[in-house]
Structure 1
Amino acid sequence: MVTVTSTTRPAVPGGKPERMEGVFLPGDSTAVLRGFPVPEPGHGQVLIEVGASGICGSDIGYIYREYKGYRGVDGPAYRGVIAGHEPSGRIVAAGPGVRRFGVGDRVIVYHIVGCGLCDNCRRGHYISCNSGRESYGWQRDGGHAPFLLAEERTCVPLPDELSYVDGALIACGFGTAYEGLRRAGVSGDTDLLVVGLGPVGLAAGMIGRGMGARKVIGVEPSGARREWAGTLGVFDATLPAGDGAAEAVADLTGRGGAGVTIDCSGTRPGRSLALEAAAEWGHVSLVGEGGDLRTEVSDTLLHKQLTIHASWVTSLPAMSELARNLVDWGLRPEKAVSDVFPLSRADEAYALAAGTSKGKVVLVPDAAQ
């Protein structure tokens, strides 16, 4: 238990500034800086000095290029707030009623604030809150700024062995991959196929290795991304997508396919491959957003006795568990980062993340560059 503190004065050199610049997404494939007041924490809230904040593919697809509805919401879900739902950093002020965390604590921010009372919230799945859920970077100010006002109940401890960049990746992409693999039961008795080697796919490969998968195989259409994935030291093979990929997976495993497959591409061809390349009695995990799924049922699903899992991010307890496990496994999520930009170059960072980035793109404070 961390020592309780109720101070609202941050432990930062020179005190807390009154104004800061944060990233705003106009929805026209640009990212601009705007001035915002530095907030004061209220009851149950903490002020976090952001150490790193990742750029997520959902931000690109649903906000950056153009505003779109999300999960059945009519109209744009983005409310013109400071962007960025993958932050980690250090608490520099705590409001009254804060009990677990205090000034100086390093934390990851679970990016959804739920009501805290519905069954999903009480299980730690704020992402599936049935009443009044809000996301940092979508409906309330996010992490693309020097400071972030967060609810204490959305904070997860960041182990000392991990960096702020590590924490930013755990906040969304690594948490998403971990949940998908936990449900599918990856172990030393299973081979793992990862379809789509974007940031979440890279996370799945690293976590699968940590969970003890016998072989970890990746499939990705982009040659640059396959090459980047190959530098991480976690994939036994990285294969091009297209005809012959399922047969290649079967040959590599020697078991007719992979015991666990996970689609991180969010595409129809990617999901089809995850099903086709799964071994008999295999488990297929779907975590990629968007698109649809079409499949032949009898031979592909029924006759192979497949189990399909679908998951959306992870829970608060599982995110905390993942952070501890990564330390035990000796894995650093920041290995999946190909590009780091200061906040002042957010427009360049978003353009790269939306285009030709090989791995994860992360924003950090200007002073850290």
Structure 2
Amino acid sequence: MRGVYLPGGRRVDVREVADPEPGPGQVLVGMRASTICGSDLRAIYREHLGEGPEAYQDVIGGHEPCGQVVAVGPGVERTAVGDRVVVYHISGCGRCDECRRGYQISCTSPGRAAYGWQRDGGHADLLLAEERDLLALPDPLTFLDGACVACGFGTAYEALCRVALAGGERVLVTGLGPVGLAVGMLAAAMGSSWVVGTDPSPARRALARDLGAVDVAVESEDELADLLGDGAEVSVDCSGVGAGQLTALRHTRRHGRCAMVGEGGTLTVDVSAVLIHRQLTVHGSWVAPTWRMAELLERLARWDLHPERVVTDRFPLAEAGRAYEVADSGAGGKVAIDLTCTSRDRSPTVRRGGGEREEHG
């Protein structure tokens, strides 16, 4: 089979490797879609970090896999050949407190291994997975939908649940990359009355508006002050830069809630003026537990909301190098390695899922 490796320095290497075989409790998944995450770009493609939970160990890349089971090993009980599955991208020990809560992302065992980071991931024809890491992909959702949920949409949904978004509340999204688009789309489905986004990129602001992910997309803080007055009840930072994080905090209204999602950045803030005196609640939110991701998949099917709408570029596995170049440019939405296509497809679907929304402002 073919597998994609990321040796750093913005290089991509497509290699022929042996097909894996499932052992006890394992399944072999035929990959259908494997999307590219911003953390792949930041921590592997550009820098090749080798420490901490993002320590890339020269395995097949891709931590947003979705596909169909083609073989099962001994002791597999819940999964059958032909099942459509999303792979939860961290395989934890299953015994520590974090794993028992469903937060394999925070597994404290030395044996914790993330797909695409410490064990082979989804940028391949086949993926060897533990059965416990699989989530059922509902029939109404596509393989691209599932890949988008495996990290990005799951992360966005967890953040909105952490801040307990209520119907009728306004939401501010700082950073309109793929996760920011996901936050906007999900906030609307969860009852937000008005979603405002901000991003320095004109192309990303335009895409967010075209997708209906936000009601309004602006560039500057001055525009936010005019739009939101005393601020939004809920803000979510997806920028991963200090300026965007500070913008999110400054434009959260008194007693409001803010979730920090974007990885990276150094934040300098006047704690008294911005946080204490305005009595904000700030959440650090890292991916989602397995049960929350399963809940999201079920709700997406019910809402008729398709995450693949944020995918602007699809490439075959053989063109993984070009896929990473396009993703690294930061000019569009989500970039996918789609094993059902034979050449690049740049045809984003721009439509509103779950019905039209009332425009405000």
The TM-score, its normalising length taken from structure 1, stands at 0.90
1:162-212 Cα offsets, whole Å, 9 max, x none, are 000000000001111111110001121311111000011011111111111
Q: Tell me whether 1:222 sits opposite 2:201 in the alignment.
A: yes
- TM-fit CA distance, 1:366: 5.6
Cα distance in 1 between the residues matched to 2:255 and 2:307: 31
Q: 2:171, 2:206 → 1: CA distance?
A: 19
Match of 2:61 in 1: 83
Confirm or deny that 1:34 pairs with 2:7. no
Match of 2:97 in 1: 119
- Separation (CA, whole Å) in 1 of partners of 2:8 and 2:151: 22
**Cα offset, 1:79, TM superposition:** 1.3
TM-aligned CA deviation for residue 31 of structure 1: 1.0
Secondary structure of the structure 1 residue equivalent to 2:17: strand
- 1:130 aligned partner, one-letter code: T
Work out the CA distance in 2 between the residues paired with 1:215 and 1:329: 18
1:143 aligns with 2:143: no
For residues 315-337 of structure 1, give each alpha carbon's deviation from its aligned partner in whole angstroms, at most 9, with x where no partner exists: 00000000111112221000011
- Which residue of structure 2 lines up, in the alignment, with residue 92 of structure 1? 70
- Return the offset for 1:70: 4.6
Which of these residues, 139, 156, 173, is aligned with residue 177 of structure 1?
Answer: 156
Residue of 232, 238, 254 corresponding to 1:280: 254
Superposition pairs of residues 1-369 of structure 1, within 5 angstroms: 20-71=1-52, 77-131=55-109, 132-240=111-219, 242-251=220-229, 256-365=230-339
Cα shift at 1:356: 3.7
- Once the two structures are TM-superposed, the CA of residue 35 in structure 1 deviates from its matched residue by 1.0
Query: Which amino acid in the other structure matches residue 85 of structure 1?
Result: H
Determine the C-alpha separation between the residues in 1 that align with 2:51 and 2:170.
34
1:357 deviation in Å? 3.3
In 2, Cα distance between equivalents of 1:345 and 1:207: 31
- Tell me the distance in 2 between the aligned counterparts of 1:245 and 1:282: 20
Structure 2, gaps ≥5 residues long: 344-361
* CA-based RMSD: 1.3
Bigger drift between 171-180 and 183-192 goes to 183-192
- Partner deviation per Cα, 1:272-327 (whole Å, 9 max, x = no partner): 01000001110000011011221112221122111000111110000000011111
**Alignment-mate amino acid for residue 102 of structure 1:** A
The AA in structure 1 aligned to 2:269 is: T
Residue 31 of structure 1 contacts residue 346 of structure 1 at CA under 8 Å; is this kept in 2?
Answer: yes
* CA–CA separation in structure 2 for the residues paired with 1:298 and 1:367: 53
Distance apart, 1:263 and its partner CA? 0.2
The alpha carbon displacement at 1:66 in A equals: 2.3
Q: CA deviation at 1:105?
A: 0.5
Q: Which runs of 5+ in 1 are unaligned?
A: 1-19
Residue type of the partner of 1:323? L
- Name the SS of the counterpart of 2:11 in structure 1: coil
Deviates more, 1:196-205 or 1:322-331: 322-331
**Corresponding residue SS for 1:31:** strand
Question: 2:354 aligns to what?
Answer: none
Match of residue 6 from structure 1: none
Aligned partners of 1:105, 1:278: CA distance in 2, in Å? 43
- What one-letter code is carried by the residue in structure 1 that aligns with 2:68? R
Q: Which residue of 1 aligns with 2:351?
A: none
Counterpart-to-counterpart distance in 2, 1:109 and 1:354: 24
Contact between 2:50 and 2:57, CA under 8 Å: does it hold in 1? no
Secondary structure of the residue that 1:349 maps to in structure 2?
helix
Distance 1:114 1:32 in 2: 28
Cα distance between partner residues in 1 of 2:78 and 2:67? 16
Matched residue type, 2:177: G
Q: How many residues align?
A: 342
1:69 Cα offset (Å):
3.7
In the TM superposition, residue 261 of structure 1 has moved relative to its aligned partner by 0.0
Q: 2 CA distance for matches of 1:366 and 1:191?
A: 39
Moved over 3 A (4+): 366-369
Contact 1:197/1:226 (8 A) holds in 2: yes
Partner deviation per Cα, 1:80-99 (whole Å, 9 max, x = no partner): 11110000000011111111
